[in-house]
Amino acid sequence: MLIQSSDPSPRAGITAVGSLLPADVRSSEDLQQEVARRSGLVLPPRLLTQATGIVSRRVAGEGVYASTLAVGAARRALAAGGLTPMDIDLLVFASASRDMVEPATAHIVQAELGSRAHALDVTNACNSFVNGIDLARAMILAGRVRRALVVTGETPSRAVQYAPAGLAELREGFAGYTFGDAGAAVVVEAVERGGILDVDTETHSEHWEVGGIPGGGSRHPRGDAYTYFRGDGHELRGVFEKVGTAVIDRTLHRTGMDWDDFAKVLVHQVTVPYLERFAELTGVPAGKLVVTVPELGNVASASTGVQLDRVFGELEPGERVLFVGLGGGISIMTMVWEKS
**How far is it, in rounded angstroms, from Cα 248 to Cα 245?**
5
Residues 69/218/120/139 CA torsion (nearest 10 deg): 120
Q: Which of 12, 1, 5 is nearest to 186 (CA)?
A: 12
Torsional sign, CA 80, 83, 86, 87: negative
Strand partners for 179: 298
Active-site hit among 124, 126, 131, 207: 126
| Contact indicator for 213, 229 with CB cutoff of 8 Å | yes
Contacts of 146 by beta carbon, 8 Å cutoff, 6+ apart: 89, 140, 189, 190
Angle at 247 between CA 152 and CA 314, to 5 degrees: 50
- Tell me, what amino acid is at 276? E
Q: Which of 99, 33, 22 is nearest to 59 (CA)?
A: 22
Catalytic hit among 124, 127, 131, 298: 298
Separation of alpha carbons 268 and 27, rounded Å? 21
Q: In this structure, how many other beta carbons lie within 10 angstroms of the beta carbon of residue 123?
A: 17
DSSP classification of residue 124: B
In this structure, are residues 93 and 121 in contact, taking their beta carbons and an 8 Å threshold? Answer: yes
126 part of the active site: yes
Is 234 annotated as catalytic? no
Helix (H, G, I), strand (E, B) or coil at 70: helix
**Is 253 labeled as catalytic in the residue annotation?**
no
Q: Which residue numbers are catalytic? A: 126, 268, 298
